[in-house]
Chains A and B, each alone.
Chain A
Amino acid sequence: MIKAVIIDDERLARNELKKLLLEFPEIEVIAEAANANEGIEKIDSLNPDLVFLDIQMPGKTGFDMLAELDKAPDVIFTTAYDDYALKAFEVNALDYLLKPVEPRRLADALHKLHLEENREKEGGEVEIQANRSLLHEHDQVFVKDGERCWFVKLSDIRLFESVGNYAKIYFGSNKPLILKSLNALEERLDEKVFFRANRKHIVNLRLIEKIEPYFNGGLLLEMKGGEKIEVSRRQTVKFKEMMSL
């Protein structure tokens, strides 16, 4: 059973989608929300597997809402004709449905979702989440930087860098900023994978290319993307402990 939430400011649009979803018994609509703030509430409290999200809503857009979440659920965007949103989709190949929704397109989008879910389950062990608020490497975050937006798997992020109140995240060839402090991130990230190398950096241990000794008994890490990160002396002890296990 897939738990889904529908977020759209129009009641009739939500009803229409619910009606279409009756054809898919594996999808259970557990809640609805009429704007971004309600949506955040529902997602935080109910932790759905899937969100149907309208882009144009009063107050905040769907993109803005996602960027505020710590952890992004799977999302299928729904929108009527809209130049701006369509451009964002084209750039980032996010899955979207145009209203009025064609039942066959909905089936395709859900099918794609199942495939991805199965692949994930086959690939990795299904962990029992003791602490739900902890972010795991299979989790994804939604990142919005100006006009561009991405869904990023935490396992693809090799480096978090502190820039004032923001954090710069490095994945692929992109390094957008997110409005989260490095300390807040450290609390939420899985410490088995994400290691605080120094005051300014958190590195992904699985994406380290090379480790070299450095001054004062510290270490210098070279990441897969070529970034060189110094490990402070204090953290070096911890790092060696972890790696020797």
Chain B
Amino acid sequence: MRKSSKYYWWLQIGGWGLLALILILINLLFGQRVDEQFLVGVLVKVLVGILVTHLFRIYIHYSGWLQLPVEKALLRLVIGVLIVCLLDTVIRIRVIQWLDPNAGGSKYLFSTRFLLMTVENGLYIIPWTLIFFFFHYIEANRKQQLDTLKLEALVKELELKTIKSHINPHFIFNALNSIRALIDENPLRARTAITELSNILRSSMQTEKQETVFFEKELDIVKDYLALEHIRFEDRLKVQYDIAEDTLTQPVPPMMLQTLVENAIKHGISKQVNGGTVIIVSRMKNNYHQVLIRNTGKLDQSANEDGFGLISTRNRLQLLFGDHANFRIREVNGNMVEAELHIPLT
């Protein structure tokens, strides 16, 4: 059970216990008899009270009154309290009769006694209800504040990380270093490399504004990116494209392919002494746009499902396409890692 239900039982038993104590004390103070019959009466009062208020609580939880706005809950509560008081009376009369069948004949009429007992119950049940609701509103309020704070922190963290994750600074500085070496060795290539790098930087700055872009645009960035990485890795990086024409105008989340290809380089190619291959496949499959990114290497089990890149990819797909989109990453043929995107057609 939840933590709050532990408090509930302490309060419930403590409260009713206190009531019993007060009733006994009052009787003692005013010199009335505290005999077996009186004590049994108190015990019945307390036990039946616990029983009906507990049923009341179950019903409140069941019908969700705690989530209602105050004005709507109020009317229901008044009726609820009335019913609970009546119920208490009925049960108590039954129990007392069952315990002592001769006790019925007192100085009052049955209807008067019934009314008095119900009013008396109101004295216990109404405060009980007020305390119960007071407690719950405080708790709910506190929890809400805590949740709001947590949410704010999470949003901030995500914002920061997505901005950072778009372009890896390690890549930028390595690319700049390669380009500087190329200036003497192959000035023409150095010039195109600078254009490629500018394209990547520009598109990474624009991504925040759009929800989706054409796959073709995304692919252009990746081609520039891989061309730059090819300068750095030379023969150690081989790239293959297998792109179906009709997928070029499909919408995809910006920089998603880029992030996955960057991962393929960072966790795959750059860890292989002899390098490897990156294969990008884009095609239509069963009314889905399927994108595959394969790279030489092994799936790092420890960093696997928890990596920020993977989580953010999943979250973005979920936000944009709901359950219609899909993402998974797995090892194929023992020496390749394959990331797979399923995006619904529009």
Partners in one complex: yes
Distance in angstroms from A87 CB to nearest chain B CB is 14
Q: Looking at the complex, which one of B172, B177, B233, B273 makes contact with A16 (CB distance below 8 Å)? A: B177
Q: Once the chains bind, are A80 and B182 in contact (CB under 8 Å)?
A: no
Q: Cβ of A16: which chain B residues have Cβ within 8 Å of it? A: 177, 180-181
* Contact A80:B273 (CB < 8 A) given known A10-B232, A12-B231, A13-B178: no
* Contact A99:B173 (CB < 8 A) given known A10-B232, A11-B234, A15-B185: yes
Q: Once the chains bind, are B172 and A81 in contact (CB under 8 Å)?
A: yes
Distance in angstroms from B108 CB to nearest chain A CB is 84
Residue of A whose beta carbon sits closest to that of B176: A100
Distance in angstroms from A48 CB to nearest chain B CB is 22
Residue of B whose beta carbon sits closest to that of A80: B173
Distance in angstroms from A76 CB to nearest chain B CB is 16
Residue of B whose beta carbon sits closest to that of A81: B169
Interface centre among B173, B176, B231, B273, by most A CB within 10 Å? B273
Q: Cβ of A82: which chain B residues have Cβ within 8 Å of it? A: 170
Q: Looking at the complex, which one of A13, A56, A59 makes contact with B177 (CB distance below 8 Å)? A: A13
Produce 1/0 per residue, A60-104, CB < 8 A to B. 000000000000000000001110000000000000001111000
Q: A164 in the interface, Cβ–Cβ < 8 Å? A: no
Q: Cβ of A80: which chain B residues have Cβ within 8 Å of it? A: 169-170, 173-174, 177
Q: A19 in the interface, Cβ–Cβ < 8 Å? A: yes
A81 to B169, CA, bound (A): 6
Interface centre among B172, B180, B234, by most A CB within 10 Å? B180
Q: Once the chains bind, are A58 and B181 in contact (CB under 8 Å)?
A: no
Distance in angstroms from A18 CB to nearest chain B CB is 10
A145 to B180, CA, bound (A): 36
* Contact A81:B170 (CB < 8 A) given known A12-B232, A59-B271: yes
Distance in angstroms from A70 CB to nearest chain B CB is 23
Q: Looking at the complex, which one of B172, B180, B232, B271 makes contact with A58 (CB distance below 8 Å)? A: B271
The range of chain B's interface size is 20 to 34
Produce 1/0 per residue, B180-224, CB < 8 A to A. 111011000000000000000000000000000000000000000
Tell me which residues from 253 to 305 in chain B have a Cβ below 8 Å from any Cβ of chain A. Answer: 270-273, 275
Q: Cβ of A101: which chain B residues have Cβ within 8 Å of it? A: 177
Distance in angstroms from B14 CB to nearest chain A CB is 53
A9 to B233, CA, bound (A): 8
Distance in angstroms from B300 CB to nearest chain A CB is 14
Q: Cβ of A81: which chain B residues have Cβ within 8 Å of it? A: 169-170, 172-173
Distance in angstroms from B175 CB to nearest chain A CB is 9
Residue of A whose beta carbon sits closest to that of B172: A81
Q: Once the chains bind, are A13 and B181 in contact (CB under 8 Å)?
A: yes
Produce 1/0 per residue, B140-170, CB < 8 A to A. 0000000000000000000000000000011
* Contact A100:B177 (CB < 8 A) given known A80-B170, A81-B170: yes
Distance in angstroms from A51 CB to nearest chain B CB is 19
**Would you mind naming 14 contact pairs between A and B with Cβ atoms under 8 Å apart?**
A9-B236, A10-B174, A10-B232, A12-B177, A12-B232, A13-B174, A13-B177, A13-B181, A15-B185, A19-B181, A58-B275, A81-B169, A81-B173, A100-B177
